[in-house]
Structure 1
């Protein structure tokens, strides 16, 4: 398993919004969809929202241990992550085997392009409806039914040049 660490840098990444904003949105979305935001799910989301780079599950466990003194079981953290992904409150960065809080208020099925900075490790996300339409056309023309679509681009963010 690839272990991802947050890289220190002197600029705010786009997805690094205040945990309170992420929690407020999560509470609203969960209430609308009649989902339960348990304390552990809330804590995992808080740590994701506070991070400027994607966080792996085992790094989350260490952060949670450092913050509260208790070490949750890996299965507990993975279940919380599964819930957050399913609810559209977090994203999995496939190439990093790590997670970020969702920076945009879009539907879970919407295609998002992740721009990953090779220098500082931060991830920005952008909705990509036109890319999704193009990919859907390509798949349809080939008789292919995609189970998921992930677009990750690597390079340098505006701050790292």
Structure 2
């Protein structure tokens, strides 16, 4: 997989970028640091979820200096805890990070090749199916807190 080379957009007053990492971090109760802003901006502008190593490489490319690896782990953990990004563990058991995919249903599609995550289109039958599954699980003594569906396959870009 190629390491993306996005350049974070500045959040200075003169910037015209619609993405405001500083406001998102403050609004989530997180400290605004250069590392947190840079990582959040890299994830926002990345075309696919990134591993820790890929975030480190993109960070270095964007800022000209490598991040402290422990700081990077902590920043990614805090962004996940705050709901600003998602951590997904793929079949290869590698953590990948991406900006949070906000869907009304929480249902997503994940490409097994590039690990891009997309919101599934709404389907009026899906809540009924998920409800039946939850009911069947409760009969087995399993109490679900959250139910979401993730479909895996190959996206249109990777299938070409």
TM range (shorter): 0.5 to 0.7
How many residue pairs were aligned?
A: 142
Task: State how far apart, in whole Å, the 1-side matches of 2:50 and 2:31 are.
Answer: 23
TM-score (norm 2): 0.66
**RMSD (Å) for aligned C-alpha atoms:** 3.5
Is 2:89 the partner of 1:91? no
Q: Per-residue deviation at 1:142?
A: 2.2
Relative contact order (alpha carbons < 8 A, sep ≥ 6): 1 or 2 greater?
A: 1
Is 2:107 the partner of 1:113? yes
- Comparing 122-131 with 63-72, which one deviates more in the overlay? 122-131
TM-score (norm 1): 0.65
Pair member with larger Rg: 2
Unaligned segments of structure 2, at least 5 residues: 10-16
- 1:143 matched residue in structure 2: 141
- 1:27 pairs with one of 19, 23, 30: 23
User: Are the equivalent residues in 1 in contact too, given 2:35–2:75 (CA < 8 A)?
Assistant: yes
Q: Write the mapping of 1:1-161 to structure 2, written as runs, cut at 5 A.
A: 5=2, 20-23=17-20, 27-28=23-24, 30-31=26-27, 33-95=28-90, 96-104=94-102, 112-118=106-112, 121-126=115-120, 130=127, 133-134=131-132, 136-145=134-143, 151-158=149-156, 160=159
